[in-house]
């Protein structure tokens, strides 16, 4: 009988980008795949064109009624599709999804895509999440971690058992898709490029502050921003539309918006910048590196593993806009030949250490173990 896999995601965007290859390979392997997530009608149309079947289970806030509805939608979808195996990604699906699949006796593979401020925050939501994680993951068939630090933390706090925990190189990188493309003319402007959701813990505030510092000294520098305003996080972590418009009006950034295919923007940039506070394993840095762009990021988990300081790019202190600006000045000061060398080193590194095939193979192996 054909195995029926449900992929539980926060948003269809991830399936259309970083997990597209995995989803297609599962279908190719003969699995019947359903994606339980949410998104816009346009995004669902894009998923259909890729051959993906999507069930809109909506999302949820911290409101108990919203959580109840979300879990009810998931359970209904799992029943309707007669799911035999479930894959979960990110915190809400990992916790809430595992509660449901355990109740329904559905083997589950969970991917801890990053912990953010889970262990440090005193916020009630994160404190509650710590309690739920410890309960939710006890019966999970396999748990993938994207970096050693996250795995060590979950083991230390006894959220998971060592026998079911495994490391994978983030979401991996398709280096054939993200290959170097010849840079187009940009009127001699030096372009720094930020790609990511507009969240404070992604370092967007530090990026803006560093841009202001640089623009006082350098005229022909442009700071581009790609990514959506994101309201699914805690309010204190989000950027508002008003704040974004102020930055645009100030002229400190060129806001491009939400872009499905970022390759042309990466190729037309000189340096990719992500001043994140913590990542699982940054897809943005993997994509920029794979396209031979030097990157600047922070000395934190999920970023420091990708960038070799002064070899493939530069690392700066976290939440430090002055140090970030200093690293940007270094990037501006070095000869073009040196930047090209950094970019070539970056591609070699991610091809060797972060090949997406390694991630897909890990999932196929885990599925074989479940199917034994």
pLDDT band at 2 (very low <50, low <70, confident <90, very high): confident
pLDDT (0 to 100) of residue 36: 98
pLDDT band at 128 (very low <50, low <70, confident <90, very high): confident
**What is the full DSSP assignment across 253-314?**
-EEEE--S--HHHHHT-SEEEE--S--SS-HHHHHHHHTT--EEEESSTTTTTT--BTTTEE
In terms of Cβ atoms closer than 10 Å to its own Cβ (0-12, 13-18, 19+), residue 243 is middle
Per-residue three-class SS string for 285-299:
HHHHHHCCCCEEEEC
- What single DSSP character describes residue 173? B
Least-confidence region, from 156-165, 181-190, 236-245: 181-190
Q: Is the pTM value of this prediction over 0.85?
A: yes
Average pLDDT estimate for 4-24: 95
pLDDT band at 115 (very low <50, low <70, confident <90, very high): confident
pLDDT digits (tens, 9 = 90+) for 190-224: 999 999 999 999 999 999 999 999 999 998 999 99
pLDDT (0 to 100) of residue 329: 98
Is the confidence at residue 232, as pLDDT, over 70?
A: no
pLDDT (0 to 100) of residue 283: 97
For residue 122, the SS3 value is coil
pLDDT band at 182 (very low <50, low <70, confident <90, very high): confident
The C-alpha atoms of residue 51 and residue 8 are separated, in whole angstroms, by 17
Q: Strand 190-195: give its sheet, edge to edge.
A: 254-257, 221-226, 190-195, 271-274, 295-298, 313-316
Is the confidence at residue 233, as pLDDT, over 80?
A: no
The C-alpha atoms of residue 351 and residue 272 are separated, in whole angstroms, by 18
Q: How many helices (H) and strands (E) does the chain have?
A: 15, 13
User: Measured in Å, how far apart are the chain's first and last C-alpha atoms?
Assistant: 14
Place of tokens 């976290």: 318
Question: Quick one: which of 253, 303, 295, 296 has its CA closest to 277?
Answer: 303
pLDDT (0 to 100) of residue 103: 96
Question: Quick one: which of 140, 46, 36, 43 has its CA closest to 98?
Answer: 140
Cβ count near 163 (within 10 Å): 7
Place of tokens 């279908």: 27
pLDDT (0 to 100) of residue 124: 76
Average pLDDT estimate for 288-308: 98
pLDDT (0 to 100) of residue 186: 62
Q: Quote the tokens at residue 109.
A: 């593979």
pLDDT band at 70 (very low <50, low <70, confident <90, very high): very high
Mean pLDDT, the chain, as a whole number?
94
In order of start, what are the domains of the chain with their CATH numbers? 4-172+356-371 (3.40.50.2000), 190-353 (3.40.50.2000)
pLDDT digits (tens, 9 = 90+) for 248-268: 999 999 999 999 899 999 999
For residue 229, the SS3 value is strand
Is the confidence at residue 118, as pLDDT, over 80?
A: no
H or E element that contains 338: helix 336-353
pLDDT (0 to 100) of residue 185: 65
Per-residue three-class SS string for the chain:
CCCEEEEECCCHHHHHCCCHHHHHHHHHCCCEEEEEECCCHHHHHHHHHCCCCEEECCCCCCCHHHHHHHHHHHHHHHHHCCCCEEEEECHHHHHHHHHHHHHCCCCEEEEECCCCCCCCCCCHHHHHHHHHHHHHCCCCCEEEECCHHHHHHHHHCCCCCHHHEEECCCCCECCCCCCCCCCCCCCCCEEEEEECCEEHHHCHHHHHHHHHHHHHHCCCEEEEEECCECCCCCHHHECCHHHHHHHHHHCCCEEEECCCCCHHHHHCCCEEEECCCCCCCCHHHHHHHHCCCCEEEECCCCCCCCCCECCCEEEECCCCHHHHHHHHHHHHHCCHHHHHHHHHHHHHHHHHHCEHHHHHHHHHHHHHHHHC
């Amino acid at each position: 009988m054909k195995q029926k896999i449900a992929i539980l995601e926060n948003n269809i965007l991830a399936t259309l980008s970083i997990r597209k290859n995995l989803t297609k390979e599962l279908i190719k392997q003969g699995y019947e795949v359903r994606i339980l997530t949410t998104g816009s009608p346009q995004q669902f149309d894009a998923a259909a064109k890729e051959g993906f079947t999507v069930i809109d289970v909506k999302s949820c806030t911290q409101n108990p009624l919203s959580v109840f509805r979300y879990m009810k939608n998931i359970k209904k979808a799992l029943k309707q599709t007669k799911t035999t195996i479930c894959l979960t990604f990110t915190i809400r699906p990992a916790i809430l999804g595992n509660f449901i699949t355990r109740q329904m006796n559905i083997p589950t593979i969970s991917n801890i895509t990053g912990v953010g401020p889970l262990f440090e925050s005193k916020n009630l939501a994160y404190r509650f999440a710590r309690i739920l994680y410890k309960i939710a993951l006890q019966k999970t068939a396999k748990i993938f971690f994207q970096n050693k630090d996250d795995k060590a933390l979950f083991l230390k706090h006894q959220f998971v058992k060592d026998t079911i925990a495994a490391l994978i190189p983030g979401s991996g990188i398709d280096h054939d898709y993200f290959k170097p493309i010849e840079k187009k003319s940009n009127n001699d402007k030096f372009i720094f490029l930020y790609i990511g959701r507009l969240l404070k813990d992604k370092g967007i505030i530090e990026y803006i502050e560093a841009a202001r510092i640089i623009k006082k000294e350098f005229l022909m520098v442009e700071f581009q921003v790609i990514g959506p305003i994101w309201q699914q996080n805690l309010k204190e972590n989000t950027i508002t539309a008003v704040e974004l418009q102020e930055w645009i009006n100030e002229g400190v950034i060129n806001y491009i918006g939400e872009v499905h295919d970022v390759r042309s923007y990466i190729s037309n940039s000189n340096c990719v910048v992500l001043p994140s506070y913590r990542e699982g394993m940054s897809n943005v840095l993997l994509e920029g590196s794979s396209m031979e762009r030097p990157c600047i990021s922070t000395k934190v988990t999920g970023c420091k593993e990708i960038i070799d300081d002064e070899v493939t790019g530069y690392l700066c202190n976290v939440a430090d806009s002055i140090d970030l600006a200093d690293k940007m000045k270094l990037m501006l000061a070095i000869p073009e030949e040196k930047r090209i060398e950094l970019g070539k080193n970056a591609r070699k590194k991610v091809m060797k250490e972060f090949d997406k095939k390694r991630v897909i193979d890990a999932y196929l192996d885990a599925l074989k173990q479940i199917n034994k």
